[in-house]
Amino acid sequence: MLLLVGLNRNRDVDGMAQIICADYPDPVYMALAIEAQKSWRTGPIFKPFYHECGMLFAEDLNMGRLSYANYKKLGEESLSGELMTPEEARERFPIFQDANWADAEYNYYNPHSGWGEGEEAMRSVLHAALDVGVTFIEATVQKLLLDSDRSCLGVAILKNGQPQDILADRTLLCTGAYTAKILADTAPEWDELQVDRRMVAAAAVQCTATYPLDQEEKLLKAPVHFIGIWHTHGESIPPFIGRLKFNCEVSFVNMTHHEGLGKDISIPPAPQSQSTFSQDVPDGLKEEVANVVRNTYGSHVPGIKIEKYRMCWDAVSPNQDFVIDYHPHCKNLVIAGAGSFHGWKFLPNIGKYIVQRVYGTLEESLAKKWAWDRPNDGAGACEMYIPTPDVKDLGPFKGWPRPGEALPVVD
Ligand SMILES: Cc1cc2nc3c(=O)[nH]c(=O)nc-3n(C[C@H](O)[C@H](O)[C@H](O)COP(=O)(O)OP(=O)(O)OC[C@H]3O[C@@H](n4cnc5c(N)ncnc54)[C@H](O)[C@@H]3O)c2cc1C
């Protein structure tokens, strides 16, 4: 078996930490995440990179309540978190005594959640694959190779600047935010091949931050923290090797003219500095994530300094369901993507479902849910991440609107 991956431009050693929790409004993803968490806790490939520090929500999105109900529905009450008032939460987690939870309806705490070390976990999976005989090539896919009947023959890659064709009986494209571009570059005139509205490349801003050493003891007691209230949309991950990581949960697109298609599609910006940790991020985004930092620890943890920023790209489907399916018009091509800002935690088990789809054994309800063509209805798995603005239109950050208010006008 050949495993072909590119340089993961979303990945960087700095602060590459991802939340791992099963608290979902959709019981299907909850069950899937419970399964993944078993591997995170016990699997030798994953366990060294998993930190189960708990996760505290402060929100008005009903996520905690829905999750609480879903654990019951699935008969998994022992894995559920608990609902509490903000006063109770501050008493229990004094690290958040100055967090801005204004207008939070309630807090929800799940001790069974945590976070994973992205870079190291990926490396561990890769080594495990190499150990069982997978061949790994690091290269950039230029386009798919198509036969005269338009079935997929493999990929054309560029490796160390040299073009090369790689032929395969079956080609599995797991290229995240770049999927639409690869299909467009392959055959722009072929409408049925294109991604269209099935998923869109979108990003959210993240940052890493340092803190004074004398604050570490306090910070090490922090769980993962999520604020989903009108004034703040973001998450923080507790310290690791002297760094904190924060995400802002408001996403955006980068509409770019594709010559071949003759229209705009969202494509991550070409400069590497715009998808790795750097300072190359619009000021408005820097201010958005600074709002998350400020409203998480407030003055209770003085001296937190933002270090670097990153626009982190993913492919998002309209209802945040994944896409795992054969392409209906391009024989031998399988697409697995639309992680929709919540896909990483499934690193231990999503491959099993992809293989089931490849061999036609995937349970029918999942095959329908993750189909290339589908109605895209049902509850969103990660609704707050649906992208709206274009990164090029972002002005100074003027705060988020209250529910029912329009977005502040951009200068
Ligand atoms: C800001 C942000 C925060 C997130 N936080 C979380 C979280 O806390 N928990 C969670 O579970 N999920 C989270 N996610 C979602 C998660 O990271 C994604 O859903 C998941 O990584 C998607 O996996 P993927 O394999 O589809 O795409 P990716 O992880 O993006 O992988 C695609 C791969 O394809 C490669 N590639 C692309 N184009 C080419 C090419 N032409 N040639 C060769 N290779 C190519 C890329 O380099 C990359 O390695 C977050 C996402 C974002 C953006």
* Ligand 1 atom at minimal distance to the Cα of residue 11: 49
* Ligand 1 atom at minimal distance to the Cα of residue 9: 47
pLDDT at 274: 84
**Whether the CB of 143 sits within 6 Å of ligand 1:** no
* Ligand 1 atom at minimal distance to the Cα of residue 346: 11
Q: How far is the CA of 47 from the centre of ligand 1 (A)?
A: 21
The two three-digit tokens of residue 255, written as one number: 């509409």
- Is the distance from CB of 232 to CB of 295 less than 8 angstroms? yes
* Ligand 1 atom at minimal distance to the Cα of residue 338: 26
Q: How far is the CA of 155 from the centre of ligand 1 (A)?
A: 20
Q: How far is the CA of 339 from the centre of ligand 1 (A)?
A: 7
**Whether the CB of 178 sits within 6 Å of ligand 1:** yes
Q: To test ligand 1's pocket by mutation, which of 344, 345, 353, 386 has the most ligand atoms within 8 angstroms of CB?
A: 344
**Whether the CB of 204 sits within 6 Å of ligand 1:** yes
Domains of the chain and any CATH numbers: 2-393 (3.50.50.60)
pLDDT at 8: 41
- Is the distance from CB of 183 to CB of 195 less than 8 angstroms? yes
**Whether the CB of 182 sits within 6 Å of ligand 1:** yes
* Cα–Cα distance measured from residue 173 to residue 282, given in angstroms and rounded to the nearest whole number: 31
For atom 14 of ligand 1, the residue with the nearest CA is 341
pLDDT at 158: 92
pLDDT at 407: 62
Q: How far is the CA of 202 from the centre of ligand 1 (A)?
A: 11
Per-residue pLDDT 10s for the chain (411 aa) are 554 444 343 434 455 799 999 999 999 999 999 999 999 999 999 999 999 999 999 998 888 999 999 999 999 999 999 999 999 999 999 999 999 999 999 999 999 999 999 999 999 999 999 999 999 999 999 999 999 999 999 999 998 889 999 999 999 999 999 999 999 999 999 999 999 999 999 999 999 999 999 999 999 999 999 999 999 999 999 999 999 999 999 999 999 999 999 999 999 999 988 888 999 999 999 999 999 999 999 999 999 999 999 999 999 999 999 999 999 999 999 999 999 999 999 999 999 999 999 999 999 999 999 999 999 876 666 666 677 789 999 889 988 888 777 665 544
The two three-digit tokens of residue 190, written as one number: 């072929």
**Whether the CB of 239 sits within 6 Å of ligand 1:** no
* Cα–Cα distance measured from residue 347 to residue 36, given in angstroms and rounded to the nearest whole number: 7
What are the tens digits of pLDDT across the range 66-93? 999 999 999 999 999 999 999 999 999 9
What are the tens digits of pLDDT across the range 163-193? 999 999 999 999 999 999 999 999 999 999 9
* Ligand 1 atom at minimal distance to the Cα of residue 235: 8
- Is the distance from CB of 232 to CB of 248 less than 8 angstroms? no
* Cα–Cα distance measured from residue 113 to residue 67, given in angstroms and rounded to the nearest whole number: 13
What pTM, to 2 d.p., does this model score? 0.94
* Ligand 1 atom at minimal distance to the Cα of residue 141: 42
pLDDT at 129: 96
**Whether the CB of 245 sits within 6 Å of ligand 1:** no
For atom 22 of ligand 1, the residue with the nearest CA is 339
